Amino acid sequence: MILPALAGAKTIEMGDIPSTVKPTCPRVKKKCNAVTRTTVYPSSVGTNHSPMVVPRNGRLVAWTVKLGTPISTDRKWFDKNAGGVSQAKITILQRVKGGGARVVKQGESAKLQAYFGKTAQFALLKSIYVKKGQIIALTVPTWAPVLAYGFDNTMAWRASRAKGQCGVSDYLTPHEQLAVKSFSTYYCSYKTSRLTYSVTLIPAL
C-alpha cells in the first residue's frame, strides 16, 4: 500500500523488520506457529529493550506486517479453532504503575489472508496521536502468522495473558485486548522468536 501523504515527511519506522527475518510458517516437519487471540509487543530485539516504545510524541499513520505462508490445512484449522479468519489491528498501550498496561487507543482491524507470504502495509483511516513512552502493540483477535523463530534469548515478546496462562493449552483462550481502558498484566514472556510487525510514526515538530 502506498502512502502519498508521507512524501517529504520525516518518519520513524518502529520495529523495522530486516529482509533476512521471515515468519517461520509453515515450519519444516512441524505445524505452523502463529500468534493467537492475544495482544502482543516485542520487549527485546537484541540490545534494544524498548523497540515498540514511542520515542517522542507524534502520529501513527500506518502499520506493516510480514506474514508467513500457512498451508491450506493450517489455515482451516486456525480459522475453525482460533475464532475466525486471520486479522489484526494496532493497539496503543499505556504502562500502569505497579505493572501491566492499559489500552488507550486502537486502530481498525485488517484481514490478512490475502497477504499471506507477503509484506503488507495498512494505512490507518485516521492517524493516531501517540505520546512518548506509550507502547505500540498488535492485537490479534483470531490468529496471525507473524512469528519468526531461530533466535537467541535476546529476542523476546510479551502477550496479554495472566500468570498461569502462558502455556500451549492457553493459546486458543481469548486474551486479546479489544476495548479501550481494558487492562492486562502482560505477564507472559516468550523468547527466541520475533514478532514481524512494524509501525510508521511521524514525529511532532
pLDDT tens digits, 51-94: 999 999 999 999 999 999 999 999 999 999 999 999 999 999 99
Say what the pLDDT of residue 8 is.
57
How far is Cα 136 from Cα 93, in angstroms, rounded to an integer?
6
Task: Give yes or no for residue 192 having a pLDDT over 80.
Answer: yes
How far is Cα 121 from Cα 65, in angstroms, rounded to an integer?
7
Q: Please state, in angstroms and as integers, the Cα–Cα distance from residue 3 to each residue in 6, 91, 119, 137, following that order.
A: 6, 20, 15, 21
What is the length of the chain?
205
Say what the pLDDT of residue 36 is.
97
**Which residue(s) pair with 65 in the sheet?**
120, 197
Q: What's the chain's average pLDDT?
A: 93
Rg (CA), the chain: 16
84 phi-psi bin (left φ>0, alpha ψ -120 to 50, beta other): left
145: closest CA among 98, 199, 43, 75? 75
For 167, other C-beta atoms within 10 Å of its C-beta total 9
Confidence band, pLDDT 50/70/90 cuts, at residue 31? confident
Task: Give yes or no for residue 6 having a pLDDT over 80.
Answer: no
Say what the pLDDT of residue 2 is.
43
